[in-house]
Amino acid sequence: MFKKILIANRGEIACRVIKTARRMGIATVAVYSEADRDARHVEMADEAVCVGPPPSKESYLAIDKIIAACKETGAEAVHPGYGFLSENPEFSRRLEENGIIFIGPKHTSMSAMGDKIASKKLAIEAKVNTIPGHNAAIDTPERAVEIARGIGYPVMIKASAGGGGKGLRIAFNDKEAHEGFAACKTEAQNAFGDDRIFVEKFVEEPRHIEIQLIGDAHGNMVYLWERECSLQRRHQKVVEEAPSSFIDPATRRAMGEQAVALAKAVNYQSAGTVEFVVGKDKSFYFLEMNTRLQVEHPVTELITGVDLVELMIRVAAGKKLPFTQDQVRLDGWAMECRINAEDPFRGFLPSTGRLVKYLPPPEVHGVRVDTGVYEGGEISMFYDSMIAKLIVHAATRDQAITRMRDALNQFVIRGVSSNIAFQAALMQNPRFLSGDFDTGLIAEQYPKGFNAADVPHDDPAMLVVVAAAIHRQYLARNASISGQMPGHEFVPGADFVVLLGADKYQVTVVEAEGGWDVAFGGENFELRSNWQFGNPLYVGTLNSQPICMQIERCGLVYRLFHWGVQADMQVMSARTAELKMLMPVKAAPDMSKFLLSPMPGLLTQIAVTAGQEVKAGEILAKIEAMKMENVLKAERDCVVEKLLAKPGESLAVDQVIIAFK
């Protein structure tokens, strides 16, 4: 077994690998960019080596620097995690030439499977079901349109080296095929240095289901069941679960056996995943093979009881797999939510900054949190947006969803925006709960993006009671302040009005032992909690039933977060509420003559000049943030008056880029 390994990655996955290596008694070396000097994986590792400036190309993607770090520290092997160099056969080959073991598949297997065009041809030879399409690189957008017409719309335009939603567009007509080709080519060149594009049929109402494999150097290969990854937004996975509620045992076996046949065809040795697109009739087609550890691997670990990182390390060290196919267990149900630094209320735009508060749920009762951040740390614009992965395990799917919902309620993040509210809303979506969904669910259910108001709360009375009690608790603290003038002490009242949107609730709050008694609408509620000021979690019981929600005081507003609902509430006296209704509403300033940056990021291009006439839909600028390119287009016909930012500039949210006449 290895004595020391280097992890050629950062963030959550680097920390994940370090944990397993430590348990196995293996010393670890972290690499880091200058932006990650204070990162959690650097602190966790036994040694750490700086490999360059923040941009990935100059640090985490710099093969020579990582090989030099191995030699400097005496690391015998490298675990690449996922992303960065994890599927780069050149990296694997260079390590081998330098006598360093790559903890992953051989570079020959990686080359065969990493190229989508070559892998599809191999799949056909291995008698694996494949999607109809044009299996050769396409040179021009006109040729892409011609091929798309021949296959029949809708089609998928894909980068051969693509992954993670990058270099992928779905086209329903000639215009979308033409534009999609150009966009994919640019995105693929920037992300992978390979701009080859191909086209294949898009399966309608598709589900994205993948088979986890593990093989060793002794010819043994097993599949560890499937993962359901259909809940996606813009081709990025949002929620993953294992097993799939859609797959029956016969389909599971057929998919698993085809995946194994494909992996054996390239002498695959390590963990890998074969992705399939599955139609509503359970017909399934090979999509691609990921020759690395997947982001969502924990759900497989929880239902099978194996540690995939440990198996990868053991296989790389020449060990045999410790079990056979008929010994792979399938225990209960696991689910993973990706907690990302993005603002669901602003079109899921990236959010960067300092984690002022980071309080994950406790890892007990089937809850697991994989993360690479800490409270006070920085979420950088240079890397992906993942803050953490929240994973739960339970006996049934319904129990796993309930456990996930409760864990999301307890997950507190402040300082940057996160998608926790959106994840909690998905955990209540009727189609998701029924298991009857496909990859289009999010686009169909939230066509205009996500808004907390889209999610009605099952029990608004709970929110009203908690808001009223918190307000009364603040008033009680005010009444206890010393030095008040005798005879004029502040005495809190008992009657209040709670404003929730356009709704008004008349409530009475009375102090009781261990909490508060709240009456409104002809009902009495017993709220018991030991909540203290400043605690972002309100935990207690309501009429003897346990409750847990997040609270934040924003000026005169109490912001409550529960089950995906973000409720902004005000509590006041009846007279104050009456006067509030007479207050004029301040109109928002007219910003229609400015193009504002919707997110923090790097301005990579301004596509217009001063004095230029621009038509609606034309590209104005491009911003890069968290490895994704965001194109800003004109919403109406206009004339450019002045350019107020330059390409290469780092932009803040709402910074003015262009002024119009």
Catalytic residues: 288
Write a three-state SS string for 373-384: CCCCCEECCCCC
The two three-digit tokens of residue 238, written as one number: 């949002």
Nearest to 508 by CA among 522, 525, 496, 499: 496
How many Å apart are CA 593 and CA 232, to the nearest integer? 34
The two three-digit tokens of residue 595, written as one number: 């193009």
Nearest to 637 by CA among 607, 656, 610, 660: 660
Report the half-sphere exposure of 443 (CA within 13 A, side-chain side).
Answer: 11
How many Å apart are CA 432 and CA 231, to the nearest integer? 9
How many Å apart are CA 9 and CA 61, to the nearest integer? 9
**What is the DSSP secondary structure assignment for residue 130, as one 8-state letter?**
B
Write a three-state SS string for 223-252: EEEEEEEEEEECCEEEEEEECCCCCCHHHH
Please check whether residue 443 is in contact with residue 362, taking contact to mean a CB–CB distance below 8 angstroms.
no
**99 conformational bin, left if phi > 0, alpha if psi -120 to 50, beta if neither:** left
**What is the DSSP secondary structure assignment for residue 344, as one 8-state letter?**
G
Q: Which amino acid is at 219?
A: G
**What is the DSSP secondary structure assignment for residue 206, as one 8-state letter?**
-
Please check whether residue 41 is in contact with residue 18, taking contact to mean a CB–CB distance below 8 angstroms.
yes
The two three-digit tokens of residue 623, written as one number: 């911003």
The two three-digit tokens of residue 93, written as one number: 């080959």
**What is the DSSP secondary structure assignment for residue 434, as one 8-state letter?**
H
How many Å apart are CA 336 and CA 30, to the nearest integer? 26
Nearest to 627 by CA among 50, 10, 7, 93: 10
User: For the chain, how big is the Rg over CA atoms in Å?
Assistant: 27
